């Protein structure tokens, strides 16, 4: 059973890894667009509403899709005041509880945000600014997509946290720590 849990967790990790790396490339695109906007504005005295809005359209996948990637690689900030002084059994319970709460949060946000995106798609929402970008639903779709990916990574954490309860090796921390 512990091996099955780890295999499932590794499969979820793989999805997060691929999508996180793809989303991370939007960071380069964002830098190039921002640099282009600055150069156009200060050297050529021209600007574009569409390219300024494109910055936000690139920021959405960068932040929302990379949350799960950051958690997978243990790049998030932990506030550890009491955790390290707890016995291992209590640490395991805290890890399992927090991972379950993260999955619940992800499910709630995805469920709430899908109608928001669907309404935007139905009405063909675009930028309210003249010269702005159409298809505002694309940027809004990053909310359920990002939280779905966060949910997958949180589910991988739940599976790893369950391993010790089924006689497996310690499931504490994230995949990047255990994989080393």
Q: At 22, is the secondary structure helix, strand, or coil? A: helix
Phi, psi for 94 (deg, rounded to 5): -65, -45
Q: Per the confidence metrics, is the pTM higher than 0.75?
A: yes
Cα four-point dihedral sign 6, 10, 16, 17: positive
Looking at the 3D structure of the chain, how many domains does it have?
1
Helices (H), 44-174: 49-64, 66-72, 88-122, 136-162
- pLDDT tens digits, one per residue of 110-155: 999 999 999 999 999 998 888 888 999 999 999 999 999 999 999 9
Domain region containing 153? 2-179
């Amino acid at each position: 059973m512990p091996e099955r849990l780890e295999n499932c967790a590794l499969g979820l990790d793989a999805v997060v890894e691929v999508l996180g790396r793809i989303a991370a490339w939007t960071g380069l695109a964002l830098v190039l667009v921002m640099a282009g906007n600055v150069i156009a504005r200060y050297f050529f005295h021209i600007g574009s509403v569409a390219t300024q809005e494109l910055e936000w359209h690139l920021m959405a996948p960068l932040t929302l899709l990379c949350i799960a990637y950051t958690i997978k690689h243990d790049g998030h900030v932990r506030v550890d005041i009491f955790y390290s002084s707890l016995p291992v059994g209590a640490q395991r319970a805290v890890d399992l509880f927090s991972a379950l709460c993260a999955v619940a949060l992800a499910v709630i946000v995805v469920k709430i945000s899908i109608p928001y995106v669907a309404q935007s798609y139905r009405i063909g929402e675009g930028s309210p600014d003249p010269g702005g970008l159409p298809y505002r639903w694309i940027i809004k779709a990053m909310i359920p997509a990002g939280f779905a990916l966060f949910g997958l990574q949180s589910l991988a954490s739940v599976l790893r946290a369950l391993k010790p309860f089924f006689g497996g090796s310690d499931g504490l921390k994230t995949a990047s720590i255990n994989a080393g």
